[in-house]
Amino acid sequence: MVEDRRAAVERLRGKGAGVVGEHSAPGFAWTVLRDPEGNEFCVSERTA
Protein backbone atom coordinates (compact mmCIF):
# COMPACT_ATOMS: atom_id res chain seq x y z
CA MET A 1 0.00 0.00 0.00
CA VAL A 2 1.37 3.40 -1.02
CA GLU A 3 0.07 6.96 -0.89
CA ASP A 4 0.84 7.74 -4.56
CA ARG A 5 0.30 4.59 -6.64
CA ARG A 6 1.04 6.20 -9.99
CA ALA A 7 4.41 7.54 -8.81
CA ALA A 8 5.31 4.16 -7.29
CA VAL A 9 4.35 2.33 -10.50
CA GLU A 10 6.46 4.69 -12.61
CA ARG A 11 9.45 4.18 -10.29
CA LEU A 12 9.05 0.39 -10.55
CA ARG A 13 8.68 0.55 -14.33
CA GLY A 14 11.98 2.41 -14.39
CA LYS A 15 13.54 -0.56 -12.60
CA GLY A 16 12.27 -3.02 -15.20
CA ALA A 17 8.77 -3.98 -14.04
CA GLY A 18 5.97 -4.21 -16.56
CA VAL A 19 2.33 -3.34 -15.98
CA VAL A 20 -0.02 -6.32 -16.25
CA GLY A 21 -3.26 -4.53 -15.36
CA GLU A 22 -5.07 -1.77 -13.48
CA HIS A 23 -8.00 -2.54 -11.18
CA SER A 24 -10.28 -0.73 -8.76
CA ALA A 25 -13.06 -1.35 -6.30
CA PRO A 26 -14.90 1.18 -4.13
CA GLY A 27 -12.29 2.82 -1.90
CA PHE A 28 -9.34 0.86 -3.30
CA ALA A 29 -7.23 0.76 -6.47
CA TRP A 30 -4.28 -1.42 -7.46
CA THR A 31 -1.87 -2.09 -10.27
CA VAL A 32 -0.56 -5.56 -11.04
CA LEU A 33 3.04 -5.59 -12.23
CA ARG A 34 5.54 -8.23 -13.32
CA ASP A 35 9.20 -8.01 -12.37
CA PRO A 36 11.96 -8.88 -14.88
CA GLU A 37 12.02 -12.48 -13.56
CA GLY A 38 8.28 -12.92 -14.24
CA ASN A 39 6.97 -12.60 -10.66
CA GLU A 40 3.69 -10.70 -10.35
CA PHE A 41 2.99 -8.28 -7.51
CA CYS A 42 0.56 -5.47 -6.70
CA VAL A 43 0.88 -1.83 -5.72
CA SER A 44 -2.26 -0.48 -4.10
CA GLU A 45 -3.73 2.69 -2.59
CA ARG A 46 -6.90 3.79 -0.89
CA THR A 47 -9.14 6.06 -2.95
CA ALA A 48 -11.79 8.58 -1.94
Q: What is the pLDDT of residue 38?
A: 97
- The domain limits of the chain are 5-46
Task: Please give the Cα distance from 12 to 34 (Å, whole number).
Answer: 10
pLDDT digits (tens, 9 = 90+) for 4-46: 999 999 999 999 999 999 999 999 999 999 999 999 999 999 9
Task: Please give the Cα distance from 48 to 17 (Å, whole number).
Answer: 27
Task: Assign 48 a pLDDT band (cuts: 50, 70, 90).
Answer: confident
**23 with 33: CB under 8 angstroms?**
no
